[in-house]
Structure 1
Amino acid sequence: MSAVYNIWNEYSKYYNFNLISLRKFIWSFTRLKDLTTACEALQHLVALVFRGDSNIKISDEGKMVIPKLDVPIPILSNQDNNNTMFNPKVVGFDVNKVNTVGTVMGNPKSILVTKILRLSFTDVIRACVPFKNDELAEQLFYQMQNLGVKPSRAAFDGFIRVLVKERGFHDGIEVLNLMKQRNLKPHDSTFAAISVGCSESLEMDLAEAFLDQMAQSKSAHPYNKLLEACDTQDQPERGVHIFGKMKQLKIAPTIKTYELLFSLFGNVNAPYENGNILSQAEATTRINAIEDDMMRNGIQHSYVSIRNLLKALGSEGMISGLLHYLRVAENQFTPGTPIYNIVLHSLIEAKEDQTAINVFKTLLSHGYRPNDVTCNIMIDCCSISRSFKSAQGLIAMMIRYGYPPQTQTYTSLLKLVLASEDFDEALNLLNQACSEGIQLDAVLFNTIIDVASQKDRIDIIEFVMDRMHKERVPPDPATCGHVFTAYVNQGFHNTAMEALQVMSMHMLSEEDINKNKTDFEDLIYSEDSEAESRVLDLFKDSKENLAVALLNLRWCAMVGNPISWLTSQSQWVKRLAATNSFR
């Protein structure tokens, strides 16, 4: 870059610029990612064309001849130079001078002049992509047309790519349609950019359709983006199809491909299901197949691929594999605390508390600093061994490292004290958590409600539910299940239905109710056989709470309970508040 600057300064000092020299400078500046100077050179180029001073000679063979630069004549005074400095944010071409340009284009050299302009504008437009400067690209794209220069496929490619990055795939498709109207065939990179934009917006059908229009696919990037969308939407079947296309088209996978494959296929069970012998055997087969493919393509594990693999093994409860790949991570990388947290969490889920303690000691011995997540996991470990003293030591460690107890910490402590069915201490911890001003969640309250439901302690449940209402913490499906079951087990069926209705209402936000109340009522009361399927479709959009709330309310309506949106008028809510006001 410094060499090009020196040449640029020397050239401007001793020689007149011509179209060919400016063209080469613009090419250099854009390749070296100096958008500002490239735009300045482009303005010089256009200014020469305005003056009709193209300074181009044509050989007998019809080729451009670069004139000899043997007379040092300064091109601009300081004042002129300041006047022509180019602001990359505002393209300063005078579009009223199009007629002047048209006159220049009318001479025998017009084809060559047009070619130089087109190439130079295209270079600068494409240089806007890494800078995400969609405004400049748009101005250049339309101003080159005002100058009588039709954009090339490459100019369209640069413009579409920066539009997709900054404004979304819809804008890119609009310009693509304009391109097709002019009978210009898009580059593969154009289709790839729009496909990536569609994948990022989770429009997977469109993303795949644009991939299919590519003539010669070589890059794995757009396919990886589509695999990433499959992972986000939990569509492993589609992921198999996309990876199969990559194989068929002989597109070499990258490490990113394998990172996504481990995330998509490493575990077999759906969320909330525990691993078993069959699922673990299938997971092993899949993981081995992915690793074999990595070896065939000469790709080593990355930090992310190991991390995703550890998550998959942990979700299947495959402890020996988990520990094996932890050792792989320790040998190949600097694992860091996050990797150990994944392993520790999986070990606690599998009730492998002693192994978790050993891994925690390894973390400390390697010089890694535990964070708040680590300490909360290990407090969960204490609930298995029922060691309150160890939990207190971990809390002291958290505070020493600058991590004050948060909701997850109190949740872990509640699990510990409830292991001994100490409801008094549990309620004290709940009150303390509420007084700390931290962000409370349903999981904290559910920890007490779950154990109270198992022990038929309706008094505890009602106290916790009242506190939950007062703290404006919405319940979740687990809350509904625990409370409903507790009332039913005690034979309080009417109360169970009323509580279920109120909790389901509280799972919906006020904004949702105000905006969609009529639609919700249609789904709740509809006798259409497809109504329930429409509610279940909400699970696909990760709207679990909304789906469960509507299904609960639909059930309440089906058994004859009138649905009221005014939960404050519920006798159950009033009774909870009155009963617990004396505590």
Structure 2
Amino acid sequence: MRIPLRLIAGTLCRFKSGELQPRRRNLIRRLGLCRTLTTITGNVFFGYGEEPITKSFQVQIVDALRSGERSRASSLLLDFGNGNQSLQADDFVYILKYCATSPDPLFVMETWRLMMEKEIGLNNKCYFLMVQALCRGGYLEEACNFMKFLGENHGIYPLLPVYNCFLSACAKMKSIVHANQCLDLMEQRKVGKNEITYSELLKLAVWQQDPSAAHEIWKDYIKRYSLNIISLQEFISSFAKLEDLKSAYEALQHMVALVISGKHLVSLHSSRLDIPIPSKVELESPNVQSKENEQLLALKFDIDAFNTDNMLNKHKNLPAMKALRWSFNDVLQACARARDYELAEQLITLMQNLGVLPLSRTYDGFVRAIIQTRGFAAGMKVLKVMEERNLKPYRSTLASLSVQCSKELELDLAESLLEQVCTFPHPYPFNALLEACDTMDQPKRALRILAKMRQLKIQPDIMTYELLFSIFANVNFPYEAGNRLSHVDSRKRINAIEMDMAQNGVHHSHQSMKNLLKALGAEGMTTELLQYLHVAEKLFFRTNTYFGTPIYNIVLRSLVNAAESDTAILIFKNMKSSGLQPNAMTYNIMVDCCSYIRCFKSGCALLSMMVRHGFIPGTSTYTALIKILLKYDDFDEALSLLDQASLEGCQMDVVFYNTILRRASEMVRIDIIEFIIERMHRDKVQPDPSTCAYVFSAYVDGGFYNTAIEALQVLSMWMISYEEITLEEKKIEYEDNFVLSDDFQAESRILQIFKDYDEYLAVALLNLRWCAILGFPISWSPNQSQWVTKIDS
């Protein structure tokens, strides 16, 4: 049923005059008839709830924008501008407010265009809302041009909040160019600064990582304003983010002094315009600091000067305490990034003395600062303290502790800490544990870590895949040679890893390709090795030849180890023809290749080429040359080369000496064996299991059985230590638990030492136990052995 318009109008008139009964008046209010009639008739004021027609149009336009009907909103805006009513800037405020909060910079520009066409002058309120909408929408260039245009052509009075709004947008969008344009505009129009201006400029300085700019803002600020908790908190946070620990700590000291003095009321930033931008002359002239700042900055902060027993208890319920605690946290986080454990410990002590209770974030910064120097054990103690105080550790705290445990090869604890992490945005703690699994050769644990990453939906990064190639791409290395079965398994693993890389959009890096090539070389898969070399050439060498030589070195070493000398020589020639310069390692590998083709002349030519290119021959070079000479059983030349290398200052290693011992053992050259052992003993080069094997085999093959056992004992002792004091200290422990033990588990305990990657000690104890089982007495003073006396003479 339609209600006649006249009846509605008459009813409303009676409503306004008070002639209606109260029940009918309430009914009219509930039905909203006043507002309805106002919309229909277009009257400006008409009783309860009436609104101007301009507001009604604005509401309709905003409703259309909220509904996403932009074409309808534009049409309504056009009708609004073409109406008969006289419009002013205030008639657009409701639309502009919506555009500023949405934000909707495009409709603001449309509104401004209409206002210009209708020659409607802007006021400061509309001006601010328009700039705000453009800034929040990311239209900084348009906002800047808008500010310039209005200032030049419309004479709008320069409002500091407008410029602060623009600077805030520049800080959020990290646009230094627009910020500088704004500052130039402010200087041209003599617009001053207030505390908000300094706050936004400080954010820009932090984003630029410009400590000098932050210090200039600090100096300028304290000249003109009294320091308060809020301003100090901002400066402390900024200095901490800039990793300027000294300035952050000094500002923190001022903050503590301010709280202790009782002048710590937290006030919002003032928006008053009281600081004009000075000229260069004014900047150069000294400015008088405020009296309060002089007193505060001159205060020598000495914790012993205060009564630290519950010093701040009376302030615990104040917002100042919360700000103080967060500032401590900011500086501790900076200590963690700078690995400054000493300052972190000072801060924690200071908080305790002041009665500022640490929170989880406090301990997060403290733990991450100290564990990198003090080790994971110190961090675990802090974790225990947190547990006693019912504080839940941050994910970053657990992750950092896990990383440190991984670095110290405490894999069980590292994995346990990661199990407590429910979610984590980055793969770095898992990568650290995978790296430790690679070091400790624990692929099963690595699989569990991968499963945990999948469970937490953590996307692997390139470092993850680099480690996966290192852990899983080779099957038998280092203790067994590759075979057909292991080659099939290796191919499957490599394909699976590369498929996962493709699914996650991760491409090969230089390191991942190196690890993959190493794995293929360790398995002896030369065909696949060459195929991936061609892939690497396409990926890296065309854009950056720097990556080429290390990758070629891996391929060449693998080919030489696989006795593929001809292929290695061909690859070496291709490498040089493609413009890649060999390095010292390349030459060493190719000299070693000459030992397989038995060509000492080629080795010398490579040595000469190496010297011409500025590389000094090292131990590896001489080892490779000696291998060539020993192919011809030329021990005299080999020992002569040994003397030459020694004269040139090369530090001989066990691999160098083992090269000679191996051939001497094969030829049962006892004289050479004893000569080399004497040189090793004199140079303090510790023997390894291969040394023991070569010497023992030579004496056995020569029929000197007792000497073989004696030499084996001496070399095993030297593998443990050259120092007789150390051997004497370890004698009881090793004899009771390993060497002379009647326990059937003794060998298992020795094997556990081997699994813990103390290979030399494990082999030495096995050798000594075997000698004891054969009935030979064990002497823990090897230097008193007759065999040692003999070789020394």
TM-score, length basis structure 2 = 0.67
Q: 2:254–2:297: 8 Å Cα contact kept in structure 1? A: no
Q: Does 1:47 align with 2:257?
A: yes
Q: Percent identity?
A: 52
Alignment-derived partner of residue 365 in structure 2: 158
In structure 1, what is the equivalent of residue 475 of structure 2? 268
**Is this contact kept in 1: 2:309–2:353, CA < 8 A?**
no
Cα 1:42–1:339, aligned 2, differ >3 Å: closer, same or farther? same
**Is 1:526 matched up with 2:526?**
no
List runs of 5+ in structure 2 lacking aligned partners. Answer: 1-204, 276-287
Q: What are the superposed Cα offsets for residues 288-334 of structure 1, whole Å, 9 maximum, x if unpaired?
A: 11111111111111111111111111101111222222222222223
String of CA shifts for 1:391-430, please: whole Å, max 9, x gaps: 1112112333443333222221121112222233233333
- 1:415 corresponds to: 627
1:81-160 map, 5 Å:
83-84=298-299, 92-93=302-303, 96-98=306-308, 102=312, 105=315, 110-160=317-367
Secondary structure of residue in 1 paired with 2:318: helix
Larger RCO (CA under 8 A, 6+ residues apart): 1
Deviation of residue 350 (structure 1)? 0.7
- CA distance in 2 between counterparts of 1:206 and 1:323 reads 41
Offset of 1:84 from its aligned partner? Answer: 4.9
Alignment: residue pair count:
563
Q: CA deviation at 1:469?
A: 4.0
What CA distance in whole angstroms lies between the structure 1 residues aligned with 2:757 and 2:313? 62
Q: 1:9 corresponds to which letter in structure 2?
A: K
Give the stretch that moved more between structures: 128-137 or 429-438.
Answer: 429-438
Give 1:416-431 correspondences, 5 Å limit: 416-431=628-643
Judge conservation of contact 2:664–2:673 (CA < 8 Å) in 1: yes
Who is 2:566 aligned against?
354
CA distance in 2, matches of 1:49, 1:78: 14
2:405 matches 1:198: yes
Q: Counterparts of 1:23-422 in structure 2 under 5 Å? A: 23-56=233-266, 65-67=268-270, 69=272, 74-76=289-291, 80=295, 83-84=298-299, 92-93=302-303, 96-98=306-308, 102=312, 105=315, 110-333=317-540, 334=544, 335-422=547-634
Q: Which stretch of structure 1 is more off in the superposition, 485-494 or 1-10?
A: 1-10
| Alpha carbons 1:40, 1:84 under 8 Å: kept | no
Structure 1 residues 117 and 567: CA distance shift in structure 2, 3 A: closer
Q: Is the 8 A contact 1:49 1:104 kept in 2?
A: no
- Paired residue type of 1:200: K
Match of residue 662 from structure 2: 450
- Where does residue 549 of structure 1 map in the other structure? 764
Partner of residue 513 from structure 1, selected from 727, 731, 738 = 727
> Which residue among 223, 226, 233 is the counterpart of 1:13?
223
Instruction: Give the equivalent residue in structure 1 for 2:686.
Output: 474
Secondary structure, aligned partner of 1:510: coil
- TM-score (norm: length of structure 1): 0.89
Tell me which amino acid in the other structure corresponds to 1:223. Answer: F
Distance across 2 between alignment mates of 1:505 and 1:42: 58
- Are residues 506 and 181 of structure 1, via their aligned partners in 2, closer, same or farther at CA, if it must alter by over 3 Å? closer
Closer, same or farther: CA 71–356 of 1 in aligned 2, 3 Å: same
Larger Rg belongs to: 2
**Residue 88 of structure 1 aligns with which residue?**
none
Structure 1 gaps of 5+ residues are 58-64, 86-90, 579-583
Tell me: CA distance 1:10–1:486, structure 2 relative to 1, closer, same or farther (3 Å): closer
2:265 touches 2:320 (CA, 8 Å); kept in 1? no
The SS at the match of 1:560 is coil
Q: Report the CA distance between 1:362 and its aligned residue.
A: 3.0
Worse-matched range after superposition: 409-418 or 428-437: 428-437
- Residue 306 of structure 2 aligns to a residue in which SS? helix
SS at match of 1:183: coil
Distance 2:767 2:310 in 1: 74
2:669 is aligned with 1:492: no
Q: CA deviation at 1:137?
A: 1.9
**Contact residue 49 and residue 101 of structure 1 kept, 8 A:** no
2:42 — aligned with what?
none
Residue 562 of structure 1: CA displacement? Answer: 1.6
Q: Does the residue aligned with 1:135 lie in a helix, a strand or coil?
A: helix
Shift of 1:82: 6.0
Deviates more, 1:279-288 or 1:145-154: 145-154
Distance 1:474 1:13 in 2: 68
Taking the aligned partners of 2:627 and 2:305, their CA distance within structure 1 comes to 73
Per-residue CA deviation, residues 108-132 of structure 1 (Å, 9 max, x unaligned), is xx43121111122211221221111
Summarize the Cα distance change of 1:37–1:492 in structure 2 as closer, same or farther, 3 Å threshold. Answer: closer
The structure-2 alpha-carbon separation of the partners of 1:7 and 1:454, relative to structure 1 and needing over 3 Å to count, comes to closer
